[in-house]
């Protein structure tokens, strides 16, 4: 039942917000954010780290003839993702508190609906249900960008929507195919995991799923929807998209690709690793020449998630654990990074790097926060970026040494574009005719302080997070290894 | 002493400076300059006292291990937060906290009145913490934490006066060049893990020395570690950041960019000397890089006019000499020079800082001269530092440089000659700067002249203490021919692989005689030029010959890097963005989208609003999908 609560809670909150008078909207949204964090903490408190099985499973038959049931539950990996989702959503809500948007109740309701759908993705144990939640998450995102986005948003949103939808339709085909592959139709995770699928069919299904994920993450060269969307979306939505939504795709690789079509991953995974790794170098180089800070962070995000994907596709313990750790780190860091662009925008109406300078003089606290977040993002040790990046690169090196060298270029380039843009925006002299950025207000601090604490805590004690997902990761890697080994022995 | 008390102490040593940093961070605006400076110094000084107790107990215990907690532990990767203190790290700890304390005290005077005073001390404390972590780490990853951490502090402190964008650029340059080295270190770690299955330093070393074990990639590991060292210790090709790093306040130059951080590369190699000794090819690379850097940087220093830049190139050159010694396998000699260099170079930098302070920010030696009349104490301590770096007996630099030269001679007389040549360059540029600053007629600008003053005791007392160390530091490794017992060499024996050199005493006297007379000769030569002839470097470079033009432009290394690496890289990036990304890839995506709209435009006729037609189409589609399933 707890799982069901975690899915439904945001939906119910959204409904309450829509029905309540608008002066309560913000309070209710914050309360909902805190509520899901509470529920997640309850779940984690009751979770034994050695326990790899799904807990709080709920299995309600739904469409029996098609073999679809409402089957949800959580394991260690889901728990980490829920932790991320509830943290990032609360932060997204907080970042909007300073804004003066029209139709506030609808705005917050859509944010929460998005969260509920994404939580559904993280706990679904039935492929069909999973797909419904997957697509459901896209709809609020579409309206949020269209209605509250920045400037001319229609073309951007249509492109974002159609492009990701097209990918997802291929996945839907794959899902239907998988569901009908057994003796009787069934989409339940256990049925799917038990399927014995030939090598060729594995490849087709792998391609169908990975096409959807490559667009959603996005992996080079399927990334061109991302910079425009991230730049034009309201900051809270950018945070939701990059903080949680793209992690749905990476999570799905762990949950629905690696154990289901292991042979295809073993043989063809390296091409996606190659694409992701090329994307790291490519996106980092493009980030170097960006003039808009938000766009720069968008390209930096492509580089970061490329590394996560590459590491996970090595299907090693360090790679997958590092990927999970890094998903969390990336989610926390983008909250900070994109919120920085919001503060700058609030003050000058633009994110052009050259418009700023000398912010450290008038807002030293802001500069300090920015600095810590920046170092988290470029994976300085003792910040949350380091353990994950180290593990991912290590896993990649032990599997494909040359590719890891290309991936590691991000280590240097990341420092270049982050430090140079920081220098231009925060240091130097204040530009003429400019009173300087005022000190942060309380809401700003409310956003930054948890982010900073998470950056430091996850840098010092990554073990605590890894312990949660440890058993579940082992289980998935075992499934994978068993099938690959059986095939190789034949 | 009880083991658990010692373990507690080893946690406190880096813990106290960290506490200092945190307290500064919390009470940044609320405490006065005096309290800030005093408590920052106190933490480092306490760490020094504790380091002394650790140093004494290492004598009987050999090493102290402390395990804090498991940092990253998954699959076969196991990285603890743990310290190990042995002979090497115990000396480094004394050096860091000892010289660190003196520089903290000095900074109270130097930074007086700066509006970032408290911030400065926060960063200094943080630096001490990371530097201690670097030398105390029991595994490569934790060492890397310290390694990058000191780089972070260096970045913070070079760009300390952040309103000046040139300083910020220098800071970024330092960080990015160091990151290139850091990347080599990360890959070295992966390779070590691949070969040895562990990242605990001691396990790797004992594994490598198991007789009969063969590690084919050992050469790659040591080469990568050396590349990491060239970044941090400013060797060719990654040395150009260090002269720019002089943008930071002078105590920073003394502490970070002379005495401690830049020696981390030398520490890294000595820490892994067992691995390096097994890979002679890497040793040759190190030796050649070292001596080339020493001569190259030394020759640049000859033509510089900024007192701090001269000392910066001098540091690069001296570090080159240490690498030269490492490449020869003379680890103890390199470490000995590291220690004496820390004393005399910190002294020279702080002396230079005292001059700059007295002249209200003037750094150009062409605008100094005759200062010995106005700044007596500074002059005397600087003079001691000068004699030490020139390797005049019995100053500390003489013994340490002599150790390196003798080791070189045993390899080949040619190498000895090269080492001597780099020493002669040192003598010349140091004499040049000393004479132009302290002697001859005053060329100080009139406005500055009125306010010229000797520095307060809070600055001169650390200078005097450092000059005592620069004078007497040689005692710790006094060679046998001076009836010494080479204490340092013996102390480090448990961790070093080198065999002791049995030298011919007569030969040693001859070599020493030659180098001492060379020092005297070059000094006289410099004296002739700058005092007797009274030459002052000209204001413009146009009248100079090709060679001096080349030297004063630092061989155009920065310009070449810009033109060959940085600019093309940015051009390619811009091409990627403007053409490949926006036009080609995104163009293809948009093109596909437009194509489908175009097709659907023609397909619009099918949208005739007839429900039964829709149902028919739907059924057709479903049937098609089902058919596909049957097919596979």
Report angle CA B391, B394, B398 to the nearest 5 degrees. 25
What is the model's pLDDT at position A299? Answer: 93
pLDDT score at A22: 85
Q: Which token pair is A390?
A: 């180290």
User: Percentage of residues in chain A with pLDDT exceeding 90?
Assistant: 57
Specify which of A262-266, A378-382, B209-213 reaches the highest per-range mean pLDDT: A262-266
Residue numbers of A between 228 and 287 with CB closer than 8 Å to B:
282, 285-286
User: Residues of B with CB below 8 A from A423's CB?
Assistant: 159, 165, 168-169, 171-172
pLDDT of residue A340: 93
List, for residues B390-409, the tens digit of each pLDDT value.
Answer: 988 888 888 888 889 988 98
- Residue of A180, A224, A381 with shortest CB distance to B145: A381
SS (H, E, C) B394-405: CCHHHHHHHHHH
For the CA atoms of A19, A23, A26, A28, the dihedral, rounded to the nearest 10 degrees, stands at: -50
| pLDDT computed for residue B496 by the predictor | 82
Cβ–Cβ contact A183 with B under 8 A:
no
Taking CB atoms and an 8 Å cut-off, how many pairs form between chains A and B?
A: 137
Lowest mean pLDDT of B46-60, B323-337, B482-496, name the range. B482-496
Nearest to A250 by CA among A307, A176, A332, A165: A307
The residue with greater pLDDT, B310 or B613, is B310
CB B375 within 8 A of CB B354: yes
Average pLDDT over residues B542-570: 79
CA distance B107 to A199: 69
pLDDT at res. B581: 85
Residue A147's CB is within 10 A of a number of other CB atoms, namely 16
Tokens encoding B139: 């595994």
Decide the pairing of beta strands B64-74 and A55-63.
Answer: unpaired
Task: Please determine, for residue B539, whether its predicted confidence score (pLDDT) is greater than 70.
Answer: no
**Nearest-angstrom CA–CA distance, B165 and A430:** 11
**Whether pLDDT at A102 is above 90:** no
Mutate to test the interface with A, among B67, B74, B159, B561 (most CBs of A within 10 A): B74
Report the candidate in B121, B110, B101, B116 with the shortest Cα–Cα distance to residue B356.
B110
Chain B contact set for A415 (CB, 8 A) = 175-176, 179
Contacts of B476 (CB under 8 A, 6+ apart): B336, B339, B487, B488
ipTM of the complex, rounded to two decimals: 0.88
Question: Residue B136: is its pLDDT beyond 80?
Answer: yes
* In contact, B487 and B476? CB cutoff 8 Å: yes
What is the SS3 assignment for A227? helix
* Candidate from A159, A282, A360 with C-beta closest to B162: A360
Average pLDDT of span B444-456 = 80
Tell me, what's the pLDDT at A33? 93
pLDDT more than 90, % of chain B: 27
Length of chain A, in residues? 490
Residues of B in contact with A286 (CB under 8 A): 573, 576-577, 581
- pLDDT by residue (tens digit) across B6-35? 888 888 999 999 998 988 888 877 788 888
Residues of B in contact with A397 (CB under 8 A): 187, 190-191, 194
| CA proximity to A381, closest of B145, B131, B79, B68 | B145
Neighbours of B30 (CB within 10 A): 9
Contact status, residue B257 vs residue B315, Cβ threshold 8 Å: yes
For residue range A48-83, what is the model confidence (pLDDT) as tens digits?
Answer: 766 656 778 888 888 888 888 999 998 889 999 999
For residues A293 and A348, give the distance between their C-alpha atoms in angstroms, rounded to a whole number: 13
Confidence check: pLDDT of A455 > 90: yes
B77, B194, B221, best to mutate vs chain A, most A CBs in 10 Å = B77
Convert the pLDDT of each residue in A144-202 to its tens digit.
999 898 888 888 888 888 888 888 999 999 999 998 888 888 889 888 898 888 888 99
Has residue A10 got a pLDDT over 90? Answer: yes
Determine the pLDDT at residue B225: 93
Give the Cα separation of B273 and B257 in Å (integer).
24
Residues in A closer than 8 angstroms to B157, CB to CB, are none
Please give the pLDDT value at position B606: 59
Chain A residues with CB-CB distance to B76 below 8 A = 317-318
Rounded mean pLDDT, A399-408: 90
- pLDDT of B605 over the 70 cut: no
Predicted pLDDT of residue B621 = 62
Does the pLDDT at position B97 exceed 90?
A: yes
Other beta carbons within 10 angstroms of residue B585's beta carbon come to 18
pLDDT at A319: 94
Least confident of B79-83, B497-501, B625-629: B625-629
Average pLDDT, chain B: 85
CB A339 within 8 A of CB A448: yes
Choice between B360 and A337, residue whose per-residue pLDDT is larger = A337
Q: Give the Cα separation of B298 and B296 in Å (integer).
A: 5
CB within 8 Å: A412 and B189: no
| pLDDT (tens digit per residue) in A201-217 | 999 999 999 999 999 99
Q: Taking a C-beta distance cutoff of 8 angstroms, is the pair A378, A385 a contact? A: yes
Helices (H), B164-306: 165-196, 201-208, 218-232, 241-244, 250-254, 264-271, 273-277, 280-301
Q: Determine the Cα–Cα distance for residues B412 and A158; give it in Å rounded to an integer.
A: 74
User: How do strand B64-74 and strand A68-74 relate by DSSP bridges?
Assistant: unpaired
In B, minimum Cα distance to A175 occurs at B629
Beta bridge partners of B139: B200
Question: Which among A316, A398, A408 is the nearest to B183, CB-wise?
Answer: A408
Structure token pair of residue A325: 């750790």
Rounded to the nearest integer, the mean pLDDT of chain A is 90
Which of these ranges, A79-83, A288-292, B309-313, B527-531, has the smallest mean pLDDT?
Answer: B527-531
Question: What is the distance between the alpha carbons of residues B326 and B261, in angstroms, rounded to a whole number?
Answer: 18
The pLDDT assigned to A339 comes to: 94
Q: What is the pLDDT of residue A58?
A: 87
Residue B585 has a pLDDT of: 86
pLDDT, tens digit (0-9, with 9 covering 90-100), for A114-138:
999 999 999 999 999 999 999 999 9
Cα(B515)–Cα(B67) distance, rounded to whole angstroms? Answer: 48
> What pLDDT is stored for residue A438 in this prediction?
83
- Judged by CB atoms within 8 Å, which residues 359-398 of A form the interface with B? 360-361, 375, 380-382, 387, 390-391, 393-394, 397-398
Strands (E), B17-132: 64-74, 77-85
Determine the 3-state secondary structure of B544 from DSSP.
coil
State yes or no: pLDDT of B627 exceeds 60: no
The single-letter DSSP state of residue B501 is: P
Q: How confident is the model at residue B503 (pLDDT cuts 50, 70, 90)?
A: low
Angle B386-B390-B395 from CA coordinates, rounded to 5°? 75
Nearest C-alpha of chain A: how many angstroms from B184?
10
Q: pLDDT at residue B582 above 60?
A: yes
Torsion from C-alpha of B508, B511, B513, B517, nearest 10 degrees: -160
Q: What is the pLDDT of residues A301-311, one digit of tens each?
A: 999 999 999 99
Confidence bin at B623 (pLDDT 50/70/90) = low
Distance CA A118, CA A124 (A): 10
């Amino acid at each position: 039942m707890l799982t069901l609560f975690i899915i439904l809670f945001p939906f119910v909150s959204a409904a309450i917000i829509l029905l309540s008078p608008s002066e309560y909207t913000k309070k209710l949204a914050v309360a909902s954010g805190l509520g899901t964090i509470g529920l997640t903490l309850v779940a984690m408190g009751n979770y034994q780290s050695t326990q790899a099985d799904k807990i709080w499973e709920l299995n309600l038959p739904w469409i029996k003839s098609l073999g679809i049931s409402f089957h949800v539950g959580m394991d260690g990996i889901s728990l980490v993702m829920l932790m991320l989702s509830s943290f990032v959503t609360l932060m997204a809500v907080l970042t909007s508190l300073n804004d003066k948007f029209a139709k506030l109740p609808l705005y917050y309701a859509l944010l929460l609906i998005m969260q509920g759908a994404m939580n559904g993705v993280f706990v679904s144990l039935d492929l069909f249900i999973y797909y419904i939640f997957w697509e459901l998450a896209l709809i609020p995102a579409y309206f949020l960008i269209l209605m509250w986005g920045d400037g001319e948003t229609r073309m951007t949103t249509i492109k974002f929507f159609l492009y990701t939808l097209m990918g997802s339709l291929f996945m839907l085909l794959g899902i239907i195919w998988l569901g009908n592959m057994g003796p009787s139709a069934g989409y339940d995770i256990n049925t799917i995991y038990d399927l014995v699928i030939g090598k060729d069919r594995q490849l087709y299904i792998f391609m169908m799923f990975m096409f959807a994920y490559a667009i959603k993450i996005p992996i080079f060269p399927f990334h061109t929807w991302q910079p425009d969307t991230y730049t034009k979306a309201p900051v809270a939505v950018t945070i939701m998209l990059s903080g949680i939504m793209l992690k749905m795709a990476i999570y799905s690789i762990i949950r629905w690709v690696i154990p289901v079509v292991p042979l295809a991953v073993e043989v063809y995974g390296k091409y996606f690793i190659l694409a992701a790794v090329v994307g790291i170098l490519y996106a980092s180089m493009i980030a170097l020449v960006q003039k808009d800070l938000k766009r720069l962070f968008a390209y930096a995000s492509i580089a970061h998630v490329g590394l996560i994907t590459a590491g996970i596709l090595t299907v090693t313990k360090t790679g997958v654990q590092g990927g999970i750790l890094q998903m969390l780190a990336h989610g926390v860091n983008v909250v900070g990074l994109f919120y920085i662009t919001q503060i700058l925008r609030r003050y000058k109406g633009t994110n052009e790097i050259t418009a700023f300078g000398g912010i450290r003089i008038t807002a030293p606290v802001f500069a300090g926060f920015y600095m810590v977040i920046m170092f988290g993002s470029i994976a300085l040790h003792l910040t949350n970026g380091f353990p994950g990046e180290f593990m991912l690169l290590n896993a990649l090196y032990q599997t494909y040494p040359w590719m890891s060298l290309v991936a590691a270029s991000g280590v240097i380039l990341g420092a270049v574009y982050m430090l140079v843009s920081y220098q231009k925006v925060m240091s130097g002299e204040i530009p003429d005719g400019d009173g300087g950025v005022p000190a942060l207000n309380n809401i700003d601090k409310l956003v930054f302080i948890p982010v900073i604490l998470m950056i430091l805590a996850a840098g010092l004690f990554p073990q605590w997070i890894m312990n949660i997902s440890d058993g579940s990761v082992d289980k998935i890697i075992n499934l994978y290894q068993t099938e690959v080994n059986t095939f190789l022995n034949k | 002493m009880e083991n658990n008390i010692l373990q507690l102490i080893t946690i406190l040593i880096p813990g106290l400076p960290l506490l200092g940093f945190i307290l500064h961070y919390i009470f940044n605006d609320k405490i006065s300059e005096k309290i800030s400076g005093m408590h920052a110094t106190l933490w480092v000084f306490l760490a020094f006292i504790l380091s002394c107790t650790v140093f004494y107990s290492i004598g009987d215990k050999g090493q102290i291990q402390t395990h804090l907690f498991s940092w990253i532990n998954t699959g076969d990767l196991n990285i603890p937060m743990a310290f190990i203190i042995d002979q090497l790290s115990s000396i480094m700890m004394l050096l860091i906290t000892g010289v660190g304390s003196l520089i903290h005290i000095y900074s109270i005077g130097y930074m007086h009145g700066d509006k970032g005073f408290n911030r400065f001390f926060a960063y200094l404390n943080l630096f001490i913490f990371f530097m201690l972590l670097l030398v105390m780490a029991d595994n490569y990853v934790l060492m890397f934490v310290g390694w990058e951490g000191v780089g972070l502090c260096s970045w913070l402190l070079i760009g300390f006066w952040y309103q000046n964008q040139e300083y910020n650029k220098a800071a970024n340059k330092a960080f990015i060049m160091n990151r290139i080295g850091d990347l080599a270190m990360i890959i070295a770690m992966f390779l070590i893990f691949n070969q040895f299955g562990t990242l605990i330093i001691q396990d790797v070393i004992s594994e490598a020395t198991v007789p009969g074990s063969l590690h084919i990639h050992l050469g790659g590991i040591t080469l990568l570690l050396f590349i990491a060292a060239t970044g941090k210790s400013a060797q060719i090709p990654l040395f150009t950041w260090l002269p720019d790093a002089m943008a930071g306040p002078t105590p920073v130059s003394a502490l970070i960019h002379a005495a401690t951080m830049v020696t981390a590369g030398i520490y890294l190699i000595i820490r892994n000397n067992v691995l390096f000794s097994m890979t002679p090819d890497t040793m040759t690379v190190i030796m050649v890089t070292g001596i080339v850097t020493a001569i190259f940087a030394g020759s640049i220093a000859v033509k510089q006019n900024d007192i701090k830049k001269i000392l910066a190139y001098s540091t690069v050159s001296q570090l080159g000499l240490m690498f030269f010694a490492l490449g020869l396998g003379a680890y103890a000699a390199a470490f000995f020079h590291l220690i004496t260099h820390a004393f005399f170079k910190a002294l020279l930098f702080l002396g230079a800082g005292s001059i700059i302070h007295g002249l209200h920010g003037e750094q150009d030696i062409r605008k100094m001269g005759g200062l010995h009349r106005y700044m007596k104490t500074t002059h005397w301590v600087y003079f001691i530092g000068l004699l030490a770096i020139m390797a005049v007996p019995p100053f500390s630099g003489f013994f340490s440089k002599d150790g390196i030269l003798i080791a070189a001679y045993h390899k080949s007389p040619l190498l000895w000659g090269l080492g001597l040549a780099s020493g002669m360059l040192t003598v010349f540029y140091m004499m040049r700067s000393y004479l132009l600053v302290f002697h001859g007629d005053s060329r100080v600008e009139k406005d500055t002249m009125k306010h010229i003053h000797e520095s307060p005791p809070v600055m001169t007392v650390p200078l005097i203490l450092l000059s005592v160390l620069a004078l007497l530091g040689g005692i710790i490794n006094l060679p046998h021919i001076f009836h010494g017992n080479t204490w340092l060499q013996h102390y480090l024996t448990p961790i070093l692989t080198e065999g002791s050199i049995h030298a011919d005493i007569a030969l040693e006297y001859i070599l020493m005689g030659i180098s001492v007379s060379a020092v005297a000769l070059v000094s006289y030569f410099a004296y002739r030029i700058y005092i007797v002839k009274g030459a002052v470097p000209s204001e413009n470079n146009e009248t100079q010959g090709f060679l001096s033009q080349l030297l004063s432009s630092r061989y155009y290394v920065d310009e070449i890097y810009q033109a060959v690496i940085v600019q093309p890289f940015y051009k390619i990036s811009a091409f990627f963005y403007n053409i490949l990304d926006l036009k080609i890839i995104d163009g293809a995506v948009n093109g596909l989208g437009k194509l489908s709209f175009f097709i659907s435009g023609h397909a619009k006729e099918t949208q005739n609003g007839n429900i039964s037609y829709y149902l028919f189409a739907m059924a057709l589609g479903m049937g098609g999908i089902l058919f596909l399933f049957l097919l596979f």
